[in-house]
Amino acid sequence: MSKPDTEKSLKPDTVLTHAGLDPRGFHGFVNPPVVHASTVLYPDIETMLTGGQTYSYGRRGTPTSKSLEAAIRELEGAAGVHLANSGLNAIALALLSCVSAGDHLLIADTAYGPTRHFADTVLPGFGVSVEYYDPALGSDIRSLFREETKAIFTESPGSLTFEMQDIPAIAKAAAEIGALVLVDNTWASPLYCQPLALGADLSIQAGTKYLVGHSDAMLGTIAANERAWPKLDALHGAIGTHVAPDDVYLGMRGLRTLSVRLERHAKNCLQVIDWLKDQPQIGNIRYPALESDPGHALWKRDFSGSSGLFSFDFIEGTSQEQQHAFLDALTLFGLGYSWGGFESLAIPVSLDGMRTVTPLDKNRMSVRLHIGLEDPEDLVNDIAVALKKAFGA
Q: How far is CA 135 from CA 161, 188, 287, 361, in A?
A: 11, 17, 15, 17
116 is catalytic: no
Of 112, 299, 312, 314, the one binding ligand PLP (CB under 6 A) is 112
Based on CB atoms, which residue is closest to ligand PLP, 279 or 338? 338
∠64-91-166 over CA atoms, to 5°? Answer: 115
Of 92, 137, 206, 347, the one binding ligand PLP (CB under 6 A) is 206
The full length of the chain comes to 393
Q: How far is the CB of 203 from ligand PLP (least distance, A)?
A: 12
Q: How far is the CB of 81 from ligand PLP (least distance, A)?
A: 16
Neighbours of 234 (CB within 10 A): 11
Q: How far is the CB of 334 from ligand PLP (least distance, A)?
A: 15
Of 21, 218, 330, 347, the one binding ligand PLP (CB under 6 A) is 218
* β-sheet with 80-84: strand ranges across: 80-84, 220-224, 202-206, 180-184, 149-155, 104-108, 129-133
**Torsion angle in degrees (nearest 10) through CA of 69, 227, 89, 21:** 0
Candidate ranges 26-34, 141-149, 206-214, 319-327; the one touching ligand PLP (CB under 6 A): 206-214
- Residue 237 near residue 60, CB atoms below 8 Å: yes
Q: How far is the CB of 207 from ligand PLP (least distance, A)?
A: 7
59 is catalytic: yes
Residues 164-203 that bind ligand PLP (CB under 6 A): 184, 186
Residue 180: CB partners within 8 Å, gap ≥ 6? 98, 150, 151, 152, 174, 201, 202, 227, 228
The residue annotated as part of the active site, out of 109, 112, 249, 313, is 112
The residue annotated as part of the active site, out of 3, 11, 24, 59, is 59
Binding to ligand PLP by residue 223, rule CB under 6 A? no
Candidate ranges 22-30, 97-105, 205-213, 287-295; the one touching ligand PLP (CB under 6 A): 205-213
22 is catalytic: no
Candidate ranges 71-79, 85-93, 243-251, 271-279; the one touching ligand PLP (CB under 6 A): 85-93
Residues engaged in binding ligand PLP (CB under 6 A) = 86-88, 112, 155, 159, 184, 186, 206, 208-209, 218, 220, 338
Q: Active-site residue numbers?
A: 59, 112, 184, 209
